[in-house]
C-alpha cells in the first residue's frame, strides 16, 4: 500500500492568498486551548501573520467576487442534462447566504486589529525572546487568568473571522472539487501543460519515490520539475507517473 503526498500550487495571486489564510486558520486551531506561553505564542504569531495577509489585499472584495462567479458557474451546470439539480440549488443557496453574511460583517480582521493584547504581543514577536514575562507582563498575567476566561476571549476572536472563513471554505472546496485527478507521466523529471484558466494545481506523488515538485506558471501555462529530496544521492526516474488535477 503506497502513501500518497498531496501538493497544491496556486496559479494566481488570489488563490495564493486564500491558501495562506486557510493554512493560518488551521494553525490557529491547532494548539487550542491556549494554556501556556508555548500555545499562546503559536496562537498570537498566527494571528499576526493573518493580519499581515489581510493588510496586503482586498480579501473581502475578492471573496465576494468569487462567490458571484461560482454562482454563475452553478447556473450553467443547472442546464446540463442529468445533473443533480437539488445539489446545485443547495450549493447556490450556500453561496448566496455566505455572500450576505460576508457583506454585512465588519471589515475582515477589524476586531483583532483593535485588540490591545494582540497588538502588544504582535509588537514583540519580531524580537528574539521578546515575549518573556518581564517584556510582556500583560501576557504573563493573561496566562494566569482562569482557563474559562481565556477560552471565552479566544472564541470571541475566532468568531470574528467566521464570516470570512465560511466563504473561503466554501469557495476553496468548490475549486478543489472542480476537476478530477488524472494520471500523467513526466519525462526526465519534467512536465508542462496548459492551465486553461485554472486557479489551482493539485498533484499526488508516492512518498516512497522521495521526490517533490517545483512548480512554476500561471493560469494559462505551467511547468513542473521533479527533484529528489536527497539532492546528493537521490535520482529522478526517466519516466515518472503521477496524478494531476487542474482546478
> What is the rounded distance in angstroms from the CA atom of residue 68 to the CA atom of residue 47?
28
Residue 33: name the closest of 187, 200, 146, 185 by CA: 146
Is 160 within 8 Å of 111 (Cβ atoms)? yes
Asked if the model's pLDDT at residue 219 lies above 70, the reply is no
The predicted-structure confidence for 125-179, as pLDDT tens digits, reads as follows 999 998 899 999 999 999 999 999 999 999 999 999 999 999 999 999 999 998 9
Question: Band of the pLDDT at 74, cuts 50, 70, 90?
Answer: confident
What pLDDT is attached to residue 35? 95
Other CB atoms within a 10 A radius of the CB of residue 102 amount to: 19
Lowest mean pLDDT among 84-88, 192-196, 198-202, 237-241: 84-88
Query: What is the chain's mean pLDDT, rounded?
Result: 92
What pLDDT is attached to residue 166? 95
Query: Which residues contact residue 157 at a Cβ distance below 8 angstroms, ignoring those fewer than 6 apart?
Result: 47, 111, 112, 115, 118
Asked if the model's pLDDT at residue 82 lies above 80, the reply is no
What pLDDT is attached to residue 79? 76
Domains with residue ranges and CATH for the chain = 31-177 (1.10.3900.10), 182-246 (2.60.440.10)
Asked if the model's pLDDT at residue 77 lies above 90, the reply is no
Q: What is the mean pLDDT of residues 214-228?
A: 89
Here the cell at position 247 is 482546478
The rounded percent of the chain whose pLDDT value lies above 90 is 78
Count of residues making up the chain? 247
What pLDDT is attached to residue 87? 85
The predicted-structure confidence for 93-126, as pLDDT tens digits, reads as follows 999 999 999 999 999 999 999 999 999 999 999 9
Is 102 within 8 Å of 68 (Cβ atoms)? no
Amino acid at each position: 500500500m503506497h502513501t500518497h503526498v498531496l501538493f497544491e500550487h496556486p496559479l494566481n495571486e488570489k488563490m495564493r492568498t486564500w491558501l495562506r489564510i486557510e493554512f493560518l486558520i488551521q494553525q490557529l486551531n491547532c494548539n487550542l486551548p491556549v494554556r501556556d506561553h508555548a500555545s499562546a505564542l503559536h496562537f498570537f504569531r498566527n494571528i499576526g501573520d493573518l493580519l499581515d495577509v489581510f493588510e496586503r489585499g482586498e480579501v473581502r472584495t475578492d471573496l465576494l467576487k468569487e462567490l458571484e462567479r461560482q454562482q454563475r458557474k452553478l447556473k450553467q451546470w443547472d442546464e446540463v442534462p442529468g445533473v443533480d439539480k437539488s445539489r446545485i440549488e443547495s450549493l447556490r443557496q450556500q453561496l448566496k447566504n455566505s455572500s450576505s453574511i460576508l457583506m454585512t460583517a465588519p471589515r475582515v480582521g477589524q476586531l483583532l486589529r483593535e485588540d490591545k493584547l494582540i497588538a502588544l504581543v504582535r509588537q514583540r514577536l519580531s524580537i528574539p525572546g521578546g515575549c518573556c514575562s518581564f517584556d510582556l507582563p500583560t501576557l504573563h498575567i493573561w496566562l494566569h487568568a482562569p482557563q474559562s476566561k481565556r477560552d471565552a476571549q479566544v472564541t470571541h476572536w475566532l468568531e470574528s473571522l467566521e464570516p470570512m472563513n465560511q466563504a473561503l471554505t466554501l469557495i476553496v472546496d468548490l475549486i478543489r472539487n472542480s476537476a478530477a485527478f488524472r494520471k500523467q507521466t513526466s519525462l526526465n523529471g519534467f512536465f508542462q501543460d496548459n492551465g486553461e484558466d485554472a486557479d489551482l494545481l493539485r498533484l499526488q506523488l508516492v512518498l516512497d519515490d522521495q521526490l517533490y515538485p517545483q512548480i512554476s506558471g500561471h493560469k494559462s501555462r505551467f511547468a513542473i520539475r521533479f527533484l529528489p529530496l536527497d539532492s546528493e544521492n537521490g535520482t529522478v526516474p526517466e519516466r515518472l507517473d503521477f496524478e494531476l488535477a487542474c482546478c
